[in-house]
Structure 1
């Protein structure tokens, strides 16, 4: 069975630009992916982060879905501690009512923000502890309603929007296995427990009405260049952003620069490279080789790429290159 290629979008804002500029590019980026045969286009949820415009995730999903044809559009993910399960079911039921079977609902357990912002979102501090129960509430609300059912998602009931468990830990892997749901691992920022989480997911998986065998998606960053040297140069945009993340600074998308000119300490450099440990940085053959090795070792069902580069034309060209790479993956 061939591997699927998908995309995760954070609606990154280039320095000195606006969220509107980011959204305009996100549409063009999604439309290119649609034409090139990518499977999914998911949008992340982040709050109170200068430089990332994907806070109103469901709104952006509708915006992208309305301007594409084949792509499955969804959340990567909705951070459930920030939301009422009923509201999530209603929002995604509405999206499914508008766009049919093209909508995915990826759910995460982290708040996707800092504690102050989390409190401002008006959910209690124990919400993450109820994650498993709230996932199951959403599942029930999206199923056909039962006689005498008092709580109903309208729209929502009967849409059966596919639910994914997202995570970067053994907990999320175990929950996805227990519920018989597809599992997406956040290798694009937390590669440390990837192999252990995958092992647990497959070992503990229980077939369900949703899925008869494990389905594993791996998120990872891609930086392509015509040459290895160009790819390494392009990657410095992401290095700058992650350095800013660790410092608590704005996460504007900045132009690349020679790596020797980056303003980072030795310890920051190690931390950034660990954070991006699954990055595939190189020319077409190098990225093909890296993806093939991961595919051979892990039997990945689907890759979900983040393409964190400054040049928007380069981002589209990277999609075209990945479409070529996909044809050669075994």
Structure 2
């Protein structure tokens, strides 16, 4: 490892945002969209590089199910930040439809649209059936779906004359990212020479393994000459450690309810999670959220730097779920401050 690699600091890399447009208890999706746009406008002013929204379905706490539509809303209300999907769950969709949707977005907001793709359903099996109609089409055929999508985006001169055409879409430069929480997409992204985003915010135990697989399998392509890896991380920042830990209980409750199959909007913070979960449930939640960074500015800066040093990520994507919008804004403001300090 070179000396320059060893000395990489937060200031050396871009920071970005992953948003699920959370619906909090007592609120509505319409209010969530207003809050997401407000957050996007603020992080754009604070210098964040990308703003991605994620596809989930049949979840009372997540409003970003119509992901392409929400991307258009966010891009239309901002001016320079890149906006994209983190991600579109490709097996849920016909690749032609995604090519046309993102071709439309890129035509409306040129040079600002990212297409992040995942292979999970982003939903339970019943919801996946409602989306796909035929469950025989699933994540195992993701490489074929990806190739079909990429073919639709080729310039007309490079494509077979008999192909179906994505209009708009064909010939447009829409960066494609592969997303993953294991090594499958890491290896595929490496072999194809595509950028890779790892879901470290809910699969922390596989982060280093997936990054190693990606980098070792990487082959230069017309897209990238060398690997480019982004790592997702939960950050709940506040002015004091105690305040941050209390605010983080809303996020813990969301995962606890997911484990229990008791889905509901984002809940207000509580003083003591031990009054809500069993010891086994606590261990289960912490196995997924154990890498979350929770604390005051000094602690957040130190832990973000440690994550960067461990992963050598080219970019970090921050996701923050809190009950109160003002608290969420403040968390991102703290991250922006420590990033530039």
- Normalised by the length of structure 1, the TM-score is 0.97
Tell me if structure 2 keeps the 8 A contact 1:83–1:123.
no
The alpha-carbon deviation at position 81 of structure 1 amounts to: 0.8
Whether 1:89 and 2:99 are equivalent positions in the alignment is: yes
Q: 1:36 aligns with which of 43, 46, 61?
A: 46
**Which of the numbers 239, 243, 252 marks the counterpart of 2:256?**
243
Matching residue within 131, 136, 161 for 1:121: 131
The match for 1:208 is 221
Among 28, 50, 65, the alignment partner of 1:55 is: 65
Instruction: Check whether the contact 1:143–1:160 (CA below 8 A) recurs between aligned residues.
Output: no
Supply the distance in 2 between the matched residues of 1:3 and 1:160 (Cα, whole angstroms). 23
Structure 2: stretches of 5+ with no match in the other structure:
1-7
Deviation at 1:149, TM superposition (A): 4.2
1:127 CA displacement: 2.7
Q: Deviations over 1:198-242 (max 9, x none)?
A: 001001100000011000100010001111111111111111111
SS in 2 for 1:121: helix
Which whole-Å CA distance do the structure 2 matches of 1:185 and 1:38 have between them? Answer: 18
| Equivalent-residue separation in structure 2 for 1:3 and 1:251 (angstroms) | 36
Q: Which contiguous aligned blocks of 4+ residues in structure 1 show a shift greater than 4 angstroms?
A: none
Distance between the aligned counterparts of 1:176 and 1:211, measured in 2?
Answer: 11
Map of 2:3 onto structure 1 = none
Matching of residue 70 in structure 1 with residue 70 in structure 2: no
Corresponding residue number in structure 1 for 2:205: 192
Query: Structure 1 unaligned runs (5+)?
Result: none
| Distance in 2, Cα, partners of 1:240 & 1:278 | 16
Per-residue CA deviations over 1:21-69 (Å, capped at 9, x if unaligned) read 1111011011101111101110100111112111100000000000001
CA distance in 2, matches of 1:129, 1:241: 29
2:115 to 89, 105, 114: 105
Distance (Å, rounded) in 1 between the aligned partners of 2:144 and 2:191: 12
Q: Give RMSD over aligned pairs.
A: 1.2
Secondary structure of the residue that 2:71 maps to in structure 1? helix
> What is the aligned partner in structure 2 of residue 144 from structure 1?
155
Matched with 1:313 is: 326
- Alignment map for 1:208-287 (pairs within 5 Å): 208-260=221-273, 262-287=275-300
Indicate the SS of the match to 1:106: strand
Q: More deviation in 225-234 or 85-94? A: 225-234
The residue matched to 1:314 in structure 2 has which SS?
helix
What does the per-residue CA deviation read over 1:115-141, in whole Å, with 9 as the maximum and x for residues that have no partner?
111111135323311101111221121
TM-score of the superposed pair, with normalisation by structure 2: 0.94
